[in-house]
Amino acid sequence: MGTVVLSVDAELGWGYHDLTAPPTDRVEAGRKSWLTLLELLDTYRVPATWAVVGPLFLSECDRAHAMHPIGDTWFASERDEWADRPDLRFAPSLIRAITVAEADHEIGCHTFSHVDFGADSTTTPIAREELVASLEAAESSPLPAAMSSVVFPHNSVGHRDVLAEWGFTSYRGVGPNGQPPATSALRTIGRATIATPPLVQPYIDEFGLVNVPASMHLYGLSGSAGRVCERLWGDPTVAAACRGIDAATVGDGVFHLWLRPNDLLSDHDIERLRTVLAYIARRRELSGLNVRTMREVAKRVRSEPVSSLQT
Ligand SMILES: [Zn+2]
């Protein structure tokens, strides 16, 4: 029997603060969709790993971040276009909502300010400050446990040695279908309609961290390719996710779904999520499918014999 893992990139405005033209609909949807997602997870008793960017734990900041080696240009949106938008920068009430939810969620780290850890420009001191600032921000919040899981912004894996240095134990790696992105609409459609999203095998990497690779982004098929698919076959993402859940029901691997609250823009998006969560809950009830957080998966992998070690 395999396992389903659901991880959430929780970032509000921070996921888009470095863009010259942030997608307004996604930016503005974040807070409402966050609560919708929590409500649906409670309805189906599905625990998730919420990977949160650091400022969301806070209620204010000096907007200077003078200690940060990335330089103050990186934080320009806090001083400029979002200077009067604390709702896009801070979210202690939304963090609290995770901790008091019925489902037993994990709170993890999505770095402090959504820095691309895999980029050449991200030096070790920058990565270290991103993690330390996140840990400090989280410590100011009444969390059920210290953060142990990391989701890299843009799924761009890097500086894993620094993760280990600061006590993190797991991260979401890139799955077989994760990178590179499909290079054409046809390939995108093929992945969504034909291929079963992969079951992944978490393993301990050379830094002692458990990599829990992603299987599928629940909102990865969008734009014109998505519209073509839906006209022809209904919602192919739901069908693909259900194939992945079925695979986890009969196999031994992990089906790792991920999404952002900012992905939930329409009733259609919410309905997709509801359908997939209902399917997970039904499979769990009928077949004993495991539904676990990244932390729980990592704990189990670390307690296994050393055969799960890969480099
Ligand atoms: Zn992100």
- Cα of 114 vs centre of ligand 1, distance in Å, is 6
Q: Which comes out higher in pLDDT, residue 99 or 175?
A: 99
Burial of 29 from C-beta contacts in 10 A (0-12 / 13-18 / 19+): buried
Average pLDDT on 75-91 reads 93
Q: What is the pLDDT of residues 17-44, one digit of tens each?
A: 999 999 999 999 999 999 999 999 999 9
Give Cβ neighbours of residue 234 (< 8 Å, ≥ 6 apart). none
Query: Is it true that the peptide bond before 180 is cis, omega within 30 degrees of 0?
Result: yes
Number of domains in the chain: 1
- Cα of 285 vs centre of ligand 1, distance in Å, is 32
In a domain, 111, yes or no: yes
- Cα of 224 vs centre of ligand 1, distance in Å, is 23
CATH of residue 25's domain is 3.20.20.370
In a domain, 135, yes or no: yes
| φ, ψ of residue 175 in degrees (nearest 5) | -85, 175
- Cα of 9 vs centre of ligand 1, distance in Å, is 5
> Domain range for residue 101?
3-305
- Cα of 157 vs centre of ligand 1, distance in Å, is 12
- Cα of 116 vs centre of ligand 1, distance in Å, is 9
The 3-state DSSP class for residue 196 equals coil
- Cα of 306 vs centre of ligand 1, distance in Å, is 32
- Cα of 115 vs centre of ligand 1, distance in Å, is 9
Q: Which of 35-44, 66-75, 302-311 has the lowest mean pLDDT?
A: 302-311
The strand pairing partners of 49, in sequence order, are: 7, 106
In a domain, 311, yes or no: no
Q: Which comes out higher in pLDDT, residue 284 or 61?
A: 284
Percent of the chain with pLDDT over 90: 77
Element (H, E) at 51: strand 49-52
In a domain, 195, yes or no: yes
Q: What is the pLDDT of residues 6-24, one digit of tens each?
A: 999 999 999 999 999 999 9
In a domain, 310, yes or no: no
